Amino acid sequence: MRTLIIVPTHNEAANICTVLDEIQRHVPNTDIMVIDDSSTDDTRSLVRKRIAAGDAIEIVEREEKRGLGDAYLHAFRLALADGYDAVVEIDADMSHDPAVLPTMLAVAERGIDLVIGSRYIPGGSVVGWPRRRTWLSRWGNRYAAIMLGLAVNDATAGYRVYRTDALRAINLDGIQAGGYGFQVEMTYRTVGEGLSVVEIPIQFRDRVAGTSKMHRGIVFEAFKLVTYWGLADLFSMRRRRRAYREEVQAAAAQNRSS
């Protein structure tokens, strides 16, 4: 299974070499694409040195910070065009342990469309987050599951493997969320297409170096979009039920008249 590992970065000089080393150690026969959005530190120069040394790494340098979702969508399209069988999403800050990658890829190789590294199933955990942030993450996932009817415990997780056939089935051009909600929307669309999803337990560790990119605006965007999608599904379901009842009533009336 030809696999591309996507590592989005913005000022990750403190972490980028470590995460690349660990990825190459655990899954040496994969390609790596670093999507860098306007880093002002040494992130780009460190990656370029690895490429010059012969590592199977590509860097895409973008001059604007367009958000996590946009970075992944850009990389997905490049992977589809290049004929990859699977793509991996992994953070650059070592919060996602690359040692789990062989297991996740093995599950994807068995035909699972989306494999999620999950914090909130038995065996999964979060280390280093304050209680308030852990509560917010858990609540956000429960809210998304209720509103969107998702049988997924960690729809916001950013550690994933997609088979590229699944990405082709999703309308990537229609993705609305750019930040925190991007992972929820991708999960929602995957499930909506009837594709398979499996969660693998991981231990998520808060970053040790660098600065978190999370802020209130990203969280609010996700809440707003999840609420909109959930209400839209509810109204659509009511319309379908009403149309079905009217169809049944019309059929019954026709039978009586005949």
| pLDDT tens string 133-181 | 899 899 999 999 999 999 999 999 999 999 999 999 999 999 988 777 8
Say what the pTM is. Answer: 0.86
Residues 6+ apart with CB under 8 A from 248: none
pLDDT, tens digit, 9 for 90 and up, residues 53-69: 999 999 999 999 888 99
> What sign does the dihedral 74-31-193-236 (CA atoms) show?
negative
Percentage above 90 pLDDT, the chain: 73
Q: Which helix (H) or strand (E) holds 60?
A: strand 57-62
CATH architecture of 3-257: Alpha-Beta Complex (3.90)
- Residue spans of the domains in the chain: they are 3-257
Q: Is 22 helix (H, G, I), strand (E, B) or coil?
A: helix
pLDDT tens digits, one per residue of 96-112 = 999 999 999 999 999 99
pLDDT at 244: 46
DSSP E strand stretches across the chain? 3-9, 31-37, 57-62, 86-89, 114-118, 125-127, 160-163, 197-201, 203-205
- Of residues 142 and 230, more confidence is placed in 142
